[in-house]
Structure 1
């Protein structure tokens, strides 16, 4: 059986020190195991790691998809987004302002969502897409992880 949980999300970075610096500017703290070759941020419920893109290709046995020496096109939407859900609607605006100050590309300014909450989107320097959302029916556990909505 495969447990129904997500424990680690890894971004393949083309410029790991730059991407690490971006998340640090957001106010996120990396772990003591972090370096210029690998970086891990602790979040509520899931670890976010940053690993060199080419090394991730090798580790997953995908290096044939992007031949050595091929430049990766940026920005490139990867068909997914991650979300940070917050407890109050005004926290969406504050989080987007912090992302803007850290150097994010704001994709959608904070606005009322069709589903009754408030949301906005930004992309980090390597175009990993994040939503910041307030959902009035969200339930968080004691660690800040959203467990239901």
Structure 2
């Protein structure tokens, strides 16, 4: 089986709040959107945001659950880019989870949650090069 992820879909409570976070905060442009769902073309996969109960209903869930310990990652080219991205996301309706700092394993990172509590790690990792298309490669 091919090692890939095609789509990541996040359940959201409000398309307006979600759109503000992803469009105004990250600066992303949806490739498709309506009142219930939006898709963002990423590097090799799609990110979807779907107003609940749409996603819960599609999965057959009957009750809302708190998000589990999952963090989506957004890597930046330079350490100096981490804080401004985090500040822009908070201004666009996100919630600061952890101020940016240097973890013991190297690099620089912090965490921001979108308006529905989905955690995003904003990180600079000097060992993971990012090419001109924005693709991150594991490196040591």
TM norm structure 2: 0.88
Q: State the match for 2:10 in structure 1.
A: 11
Deviation at 1:132, TM superposition (A): 0.5
Q: Which runs of 5+ in 1 are unaligned?
A: 67-71
**Could you tell me which residue of structure 2 aligns to residue 110 of structure 1?**
100
> Alpha-carbon deviations, 1:45-77, whole Å to 9, x = none?
3211011222212222x23x41xxxxx47xx34
Give the whole-Å Cα distance in 2 for the aligned partners of 1:135 and 1:122.
17
Which residue of the other structure, out of 67, 86, 96, is the alignment partner of 2:76? 86
Distance 2:17 2:107 in 1: 33
Please tell me whether residue 96 in structure 1 is matched to residue 86 in structure 2: yes
The two structures have a TM-score, normalised by structure 1, of 0.84
Query: Match for residue 29 of structure 1?
Result: 29
Instruction: Give structure 1 regions of 4+ aligned residues with deviation exceeding 6 angstroms.
Output: none
RMSD: 1.7
Cα drift, residue 86 of structure 1:
1.1
Query: Is the deviation greater in 110-119 or in 11-20?
Result: 11-20
The answer on whether the counterparts of 1:10 and 1:49 sit within 8 Å (CA) in structure 2 is yes
For residues 20 and 35 of structure 2, what CA distance do their matches in structure 1 show? 10
Of 120-129 and 39-48, deviating more is 39-48
Aligned twin of 1:140: 130
5+ residue gaps, structure 2: none
1: CA distance between counterparts of 2:38 and 2:120? 18
Structure 2 residue matching 1:139: 3-state secondary structure: coil
1: CA distance between counterparts of 2:89 and 2:20? 12
